[in-house]
């Protein structure tokens, strides 16, 4: 009873003294996800598996405590007798058929209409249904299954593979471990790699030094780009001396070029000082201890690539420049490849064939850290393949030629996915690919689009500056204006600090005043950028002469605006207002915690009272082998 009171207090934040053993559990606001977490902790506390459905149906703490006591009394005599339980032989086909029957019972969908590759969420199974299905699956397999594993499975095929693996591991443990050996003793016999305190301290010191090296690699290109911007602006201003306001226009035009130069120089810097110095010989090294120098080198390179990709390379998505980015980092990428993701964690271990399409949010992960060991295995994606939005390709996977991976599908470690027989399934509602990669003007179009995205942000900063001097009655300053334009183009606080240190020598005397001024400027710039983006995207949509470039530019402006301005609004009513400004139809009393940047918000419609959690994804358009589908 005391453990359950503490557990409810931790889950809800209610003081233990206010938790009653007779009050209904639902009165404390515990949802189905909280029940799953509580079940796991209760199972660990009792030392025996507890079904989530039993916790879910308990009316109060007293009833749940009585059930737990009965469960312990039934379990302990069985453990004492140690009678070997006959192993139930279940193959994968049995599991698949059972899951199809289970889904049919839960949803009412005929068994013949249930596909083993369709996403489970498409059948309308909610979190309560998942808890009930988990209990039935555990009974069928004869071994406990965690609800979170059922909840995260993308399709029946994946859940069947997981269940088969779980069953084989359980049966192996039952056959290898004598029944009279206590569980604690079995756990203690596992091999544990002992690492000395001095070695751990040395690795931590090396990681601290690696953080400094990472900061230098990321800050140096920004400093060089800002310095080049200042020198170029100075030379240009001398040549147009005497022409009023022209020097301000030059600073506004040059600021996005400095941002693009920063992206290019960062990629070169990581390639020269990161991949060359920190890269490992992957042909000789596939498994590395996390307490080794090689791991620290890999980690430093991985974090540098991750940060630079999330901050800079994300603005190159869907362009040929993203292909160049990953090729500079070591990836082998064929011709006419369209990449709409930056989540390629180990580029040097990735090989992508010709005419491959990798859609938004795809995770290509060539590493895994498990039991103190880093495993690295290459990933190969064959020619003419297409990987759907937010799919996952794990280490050692091989995606064959002309393979279509659907959205949210996962290719497990070491799996080989081959071309299905029933290909040539063309979507008639698909548009042509946005900016055909075979066009000779691709590079020019993509560069213009990237520049316009940066220019729009600099323009918003310039408007904010002129509004400031208008209401504050301060005279305009070219130095301040140039700083504002640079901050608008780069739009990342560490880069803003670098720009300030490069352009000004004095430090603000009052930190509170500086913080308030900076916050106000940031909010004003974000508001103006949102309005400018909404106006321009509407003009592009209403334009009768719609081209592939305009469609692509509209998507890039929407995504860039979300990345620069909307992340801080997540979970607030202001975020719903932002989406309405961008053209989405959002009902009243909606709660949107955090969603991905939406490329076409005008195609999004959310009813009143809807709640979207932290990991929700809204996909209004994505790239595939059939073109750009909206």
* Domain co-membership, 470 together with 610: yes
> How many CB atoms within 10 Å of residue 7?
20
Token pair belonging to 71: 């469960």
Say which residue the tokens 């059972």 belong to. 98
> What CATH number is given to the structural domain containing 313?
2.160.10
Sign of torsion, CA 318 323 328 329? positive
Phi and psi torsions of 298, nearest 5°: -60, -45
Query: Residue 401 in contact with residue 385, Cβ under 8 Å?
Result: yes
The pLDDT value given to residue 33: 66
Query: Residue 58 in contact with residue 25, Cβ under 8 Å?
Result: yes
* Domain co-membership, 468 together with 611: yes
Q: DSSP H helical segments within 270-313, as ranges?
A: 276-278, 293-311
Burial label for 239, CB within 10 Å (0-12, 13-18, 19+), is exposed
- CA dihedral angle for residue 275, residue 277, residue 279, residue 285, rounded to 10 degrees: 170
Please report the DSSP string for 351-363 in residue order. Answer: EE-TT-EE-TT-E
Residue at 270 is within a domain: no
* Domain co-membership, 168 together with 292: no
The pLDDT value given to residue 85: 43
CA 389 – CA 630 distance, rounded (Å): 13
Token pair belonging to 207: 């990681």
* Domain co-membership, 23 together with 65: yes
Q: What is the DSSP letter of 272?
A: I
Residue at 406 is within a domain: yes
Domain boundary among 81, 102, 127: 81
* Domain co-membership, 151 together with 216: no
Instruction: Determine the structural domain holding residue 519 and report its residue range.
Output: 442-629
Token pair belonging to 451: 């520049």
Q: What is the DSSP letter of 565?
A: I
Q: What is the DSSP letter of 287?
A: E
Domain boundary among 127, 150, 181: 181
* Domain co-membership, 11 together with 68: yes
In 377-532, beta strands by DSSP E: 379-381, 386-387, 392-393, 398-399, 404-405, 410-411, 416-417
Residue at 55 is within a domain: yes
In total, the chain counts a number of residues equal to 630
Say which residue the tokens 């918000």 belong to. 601
Query: Residue 224 in contact with residue 495, Cβ under 8 Å?
Result: no
Domain boundary among 142, 157, 181: 181
**Residue in 388, 408, 439 with CA at minimum distance from that of residue 629:** 388
pTM of the model: 0.69
* Domain co-membership, 206 together with 157: no
**Secondary structure class of 352 (helix, strand, coil):** strand
Give 10-residue mean pLDDT values along the chain (630 residues).
Answer: 76 76 72 71 75 72 78 60 50 81 81 78 70 79 75 78 77 52 40 72 93 95 94 85 81 94 96 87 79 92 94 92 94 91 92 92 90 89 91 90 87 77 47 46 87 95 93 89 94 90 82 88 93 91 76 89 86 88 89 85 88 82 81
CA 315 – CA 201 distance, rounded (Å): 39
Residue at 160 is within a domain: yes
**Residue in 332, 446, 389, 433 with CA at minimum distance from that of residue 617:** 389
Number of domains in the chain: 4
The pLDDT value given to residue 342: 93
User: How many Å separate Cα 291 from the centre of its chain?
Assistant: 27
> What CATH number is given to the structural domain containing 25?
1.10.1200.10
Phi and psi torsions of 599, nearest 5°: -75, -30
The contacts of residue 608 (CB under 8 Å, 6+ apart) are 587, 588, 589, 590
- CA dihedral angle for residue 160, residue 165, residue 166, residue 170, rounded to 10 degrees: 140
Phi and psi torsions of 43, nearest 5°: -60, -45
* Domain co-membership, 55 together with 152: no
Query: Residue 62 in contact with residue 1, Cβ under 8 Å?
Result: yes
* Domain co-membership, 296 together with 406: yes
Query: Residue 583 in contact with residue 536, Cβ under 8 Å?
Result: no
* Domain co-membership, 458 together with 594: yes
437: left (phi over 0), alpha (psi -120 to 50) or beta: alpha
**Residue in 12, 34, 32 with CA at minimum distance from that of residue 23:** 12
* Domain co-membership, 135 together with 168: yes
**Residue in 275, 252, 264 with CA at minimum distance from that of residue 224:** 264
CA 357 – CA 623 distance, rounded (Å): 7
Strands 373-376 and 287-289: antiparallel
The pLDDT value given to residue 303: 94
Residue at 510 is within a domain: yes
Residue at 505 is within a domain: yes
CA 453 – CA 566 distance, rounded (Å): 16
CA 59 – CA 27 distance, rounded (Å): 10
Long-range contacts of 448-453 (CB under 8 A, 24+ apart): 449/319, 449/549, 449/552, 449/553, 449/556, 450/260, 450/315, 450/316, 450/319, 450/321, 450/556, 451/256, 451/257, 451/260, 452/553, 452/557, 453/315, 453/556, 453/557, 453/560
Query: Residue 610 in contact with residue 382, Cβ under 8 Å?
Result: no
Residue at 73 is within a domain: yes
CA 263 – CA 229 distance, rounded (Å): 14
**Residue in 218, 373, 353 with CA at minimum distance from that of residue 295:** 373
* Domain co-membership, 63 together with 115: no
Angle CA 270–276–277, to nearest 5:
95
β-partners of residue 411 are 393
CB half-sphere exposure, 486, CA atoms < 13 A: 30
Residue at 192 is within a domain: no
β-partners of residue 288 are 374
Long-range contacts of 434-438 (CB under 8 A, 24+ apart): 434/318, 434/548, 434/551, 434/552, 434/555, 434/623, 434/628, 435/318, 435/548, 435/549, 435/552, 436/548, 437/320, 437/336, 437/337, 437/338, 438/336
């Amino acid at each position: 009873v005391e453990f359950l009171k503490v557990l409810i207090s931790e889950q809800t934040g209610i003081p233990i003294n206010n938790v009653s053993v007779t009050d209904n559990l639902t009165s404390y606001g515990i949802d189905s996800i909280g029940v799953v977490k509580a079940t796991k902790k209760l199972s660990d506390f009792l030392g025996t598996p507890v079904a989530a459905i039993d916790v879910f149906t308990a009316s109060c703490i007293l009833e749940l405590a009585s059930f737990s006591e009965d469960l312990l009394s039934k379990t302990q005599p069985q453990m004492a007798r140690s009678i070997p339980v006959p192993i139930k032989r279940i193959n994968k086909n049995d599991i698949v058929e059972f899951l199809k029957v289970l889904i049919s019972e839960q949803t009412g969908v005929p068994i013949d209409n249930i596909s083993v590759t369709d996403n489970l969420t498409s059948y309308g199974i909610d979190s309560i249904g998942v808890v009930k299905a988990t209990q039935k699956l555990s009974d069928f397999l004869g071994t406990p299954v965690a609800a979170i594993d059922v909840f995260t499975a993308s399709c029946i095929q994946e859940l069947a593979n997981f269940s088969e693996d779980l069953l084989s591991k359980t049966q192996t443990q039952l056959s290898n471990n004598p029944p009279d050996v206590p569980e604690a003793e079995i756990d203690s016999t596992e091999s544990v790699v002992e690492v000395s305190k001095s070695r751990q301290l040395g690795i931590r010191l090396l990681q601290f030094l690696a953080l400094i090296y990472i900061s230098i690699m990321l800050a140096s290109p920004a400093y060089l780009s800002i310095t080049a911007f200042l020198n170029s602006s100075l030379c240009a201003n001398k040549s147009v001396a005497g022409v009023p306001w022209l020097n301000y226009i030059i600073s506004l035009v040059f600021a996005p070029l400095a941002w693009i130069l920063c992206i290019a120089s960062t990629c070169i810097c990581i390639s020269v000082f990161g991949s060359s110095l920190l890269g490992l010989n992957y042909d000789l090294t596939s498994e590395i201890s996390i307490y080794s120098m090689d791991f620290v080198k890999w980690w430093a390179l991985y974090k540098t690539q991750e940060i630079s990709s999330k901050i800079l390379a994300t603005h190159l998505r869907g362009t040929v420049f993203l292909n160049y980015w990953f090729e500079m980092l070591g990836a082998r990428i064929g011709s006419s490849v369209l990449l709409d993701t930056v989540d390629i964690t180990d580029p040097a271990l990735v090989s992508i064939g010709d005419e491959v399409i990798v859609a938004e949010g795809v995770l290509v992960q060539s590493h895994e850290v498990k039991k103190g060991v880093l495993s690295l295995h290459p990933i190969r994606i064959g020619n003419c393949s297409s990987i759907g939005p937010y799919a996952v390709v794990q280490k050692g996977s091989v995606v064959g030629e002309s393979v279509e991976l659907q959205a949210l599908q996962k290719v497990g470690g070491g799996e080989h996915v081959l071309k299905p027989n029933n290909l040539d399934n063309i979507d008639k509602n698909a548009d042509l690919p946005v900016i055909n990669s075979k066009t000779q003007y691709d590079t020019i179009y993509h560069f213009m689009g990237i520049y316009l995205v940066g220019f729009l942000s600099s323009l918003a900063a310039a408007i904010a500056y002129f509004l400031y001097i208008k209401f504050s009655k301060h005279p305009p300053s070219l130095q301040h204006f140039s700083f504002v334009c640079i901050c608008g183009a780069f739009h990342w606080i560490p880069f803003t600090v670098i720009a300030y240190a490069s352009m000004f020598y004095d430090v603000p005397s009052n930190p509170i005043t500086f913080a308030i001024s900076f916050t106000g400027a940031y909010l004003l710039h974000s508001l103006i950028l949102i309005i400018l983006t909404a106006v321009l995207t509407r003009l592009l949509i209403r334009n009768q002469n719609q081209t592939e470039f305009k469609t692509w530019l509209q998507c890039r402006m929407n995504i860039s605006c979300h990345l620069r301005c909307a992340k801080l609004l997540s979970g607030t009513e202001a975020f719903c207002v932002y989406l309405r400004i961008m053209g989405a139809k959002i009902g009243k009393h909606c709660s949107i915690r955090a969603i991905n940047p939406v490329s076409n918000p005008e195609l999004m419609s959310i009813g009143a009272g809807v709640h979207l959690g932290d990991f929700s994804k809204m996909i209004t358009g994505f790239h595939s082998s059939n073109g750009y589908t909206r």
